[in-house]
Amino acid sequence: MKITVTRTQRPKPKPEDENKLGFARTFSDHMFVVEHEAERGWFDPRIVPYQKIALDPASPVFHYAQEIFEGAKAYALDNGEIGLFRIRDNALRMNRSADRMCMPAIDVDLQVEAINRLVDLDRDWVPTSEGTSLYLRPTMIADGTSLGAHTATRFIYFIICSPTGTYYQQGMKPIRIRIETRHVRAVKGGVGRAKTGGNYAASFKASYAARQEGFNEVLWLDGREQKYVQEVGAMNMMFVIDGKIVTSELGDTILPGITRDSVLALAKEKGLEVVEDRVAVDYLFDAYDKGLLTEAFGTGTAAVISPVGELAWNERTITINDFAIGPVSMMFYEELSCIQRQRCPDTHGWTTIVPHYQA
């Protein structure tokens, strides 16, 4: 399928200060769009100026939240090229989310080409300062004109791009996390493994309440026993216990993070023992009391690594590593950023370079 390109006639001003970008607040000049109908499959892939999307008010995305998305980043490299990190894995995960949400798969090569062409066209939008990147948000929504509560007959897949700084406004500093004991994020058999907007809508009440009390995020527990830790906001969670990397095993209820997978691969290479299992909160606090829980951190594309300085559970609050960034968190952050920026050898074939289609 040939992707057509319509360039903007009115390029937008770029953000002036790369150090004040925040997370995904401004968007680049162009977007990618492709549509799907049952009889036609995917059709009319195109790059167009960034613009509003007009939808029928009866579109299923508004009523039944049939929506999935991805999150990836394009990085400015020292040699002036633009790099991508494990972008095929994002495309593959998009299709796994699509399957769970009864939406059509979209050819992985088309997704990757769309991202490459879009980033190529908007390459001037990729910020270059340390810690910045162009955040990419592929999204698929259900479109249509009927309120029938069943899967849609039309779908739209689009990609938008945003020059982005560090995820947490305060920069890379340890965060405060509250273990959520009232609400749950996902249950076995549910959609916790899919990157779907509804998971976020269902989480905002708890994270809002936690923020009111000075926390940055909540750590979710399993939906059945409220005993085992799951993940945090848009991050998977890892703990350093007795020198081992301990993280929740994947299943129905946890989003399989690409950063998580990358950190575990690096850990094994470094000879660190990796434990993927059910992680009980009791076990964590017990390890803390014994002085064995030395670090905790979240992993995700937006924040890369986010050290956790404080963990509150009911009446108990513990301070981890004196609220400082620990050596293991730092090592993973530096190692991953180094590979993403293509300053370190990529022995895994994780990185690619955006081609120059325009030349």
Ligand X SMILES: *Cc1c(COP(=O)(O)O)cnc(C)c1O
Residues 48-87, one symbol each (x = binds ligand X by CB under 6 A, - = not), give: -----------------------x----------------
Site for ligand X in 185-204 (CB under 6 A): 195
Interface pick for ligand X out of 231, 295, 310, 335 (rule CB under 6 A): 231
Listed ranges 52-60, 245-253, 295-303, 321-329: which one lies at the site for ligand X (CB under 6 A): 295-303
The Cα–Cα gap between 180 and 206 comes to 7
Nearest of 218, 28, 56 to residue 137 by alpha carbon: 28
**DSSP state letter for 24:** S
CB of 50 to ligand X, least distance (A): 23
The Cα–Cα gap between 124 and 299 comes to 28
Q: Is 338 left (phi over 0), alpha (psi -120 to 50) or beta?
A: alpha
CB of 30 to ligand X, least distance (A): 23
Grouping H, G, I as helix, E, B as strand and the rest as coil, residue 117 is: helix
CB of 71 to ligand X, least distance (A): 5
The Cα–Cα gap between 11 and 77 comes to 24
Q: How many residues bind ligand X (CB under 6 A)?
A: 14
Structure tokens at 283: 């076990």
The Cα–Cα gap between 161 and 137 comes to 6
CB of 199 to ligand X, least distance (A): 6
The Cα–Cα gap between 75 and 207 comes to 29
Listed ranges 229-237, 278-286, 305-313, 314-322: which one lies at the site for ligand X (CB under 6 A): 229-237
Listed ranges 4-12, 77-85, 252-260, 289-297: which one lies at the site for ligand X (CB under 6 A): 252-260
Structure tokens at 135: 């955040």
Q: Which CB sits closer to ligand X, 55 or 202?
A: 202
**Continuous segment of H or E residues that includes residue 211:** helix 204-212
Angle at 113 between CA 135 and CA 197, to 5 degrees: 45
Structure tokens at 281: 């909160």
Listed ranges 14-22, 103-111, 155-163, 256-264: which one lies at the site for ligand X (CB under 6 A): 256-264
CB of 69 to ligand X, least distance (A): 8
Q: At what angle do helices 108-121 and 87-100 cross, to 10 degrees?
A: 130
- Biggest CA–CA distance in the chain, Å, is 63
Q: Which CB sits closer to ligand X, 127 or 300?
A: 300
Nearest of 233, 222, 234 to residue 181 by alpha carbon: 222
Q: Which CB sits closer to ligand X, 197 or 355?
A: 197
Site for ligand X contains 236 (CB under 6 A): yes
Phi, psi of 146 (to 5 degrees): -140, 145
Q: Which CB sits closer to ligand X, 84 or 121?
A: 84
* CA dihedral for 82, 137, 308, 128, sign (positive or negative): positive
Listed ranges 101-109, 124-132, 233-241, 342-350: which one lies at the site for ligand X (CB under 6 A): 233-241
Interface pick for ligand X out of 235, 311, 312, 325 (rule CB under 6 A): 235
Q: Which CB sits closer to ligand X, 121 or 238?
A: 238
CB of 340 to ligand X, least distance (A): 12
Task: Answer yes or no: are the C-beta atoms of 284 and 228 closer than 8 Å.
Answer: no
Q: Which CB sits closer to ligand X, 236 or 329?
A: 236
Interface pick for ligand X out of 144, 163, 300, 326 (rule CB under 6 A): 300
Site for ligand X in 257-286 (CB under 6 A): 257-260
Grouping H, G, I as helix, E, B as strand and the rest as coil, residue 166 is: coil
Binding region for ligand X (CB under 6 A): 71, 195, 231, 234-236, 255, 257-260, 299-301
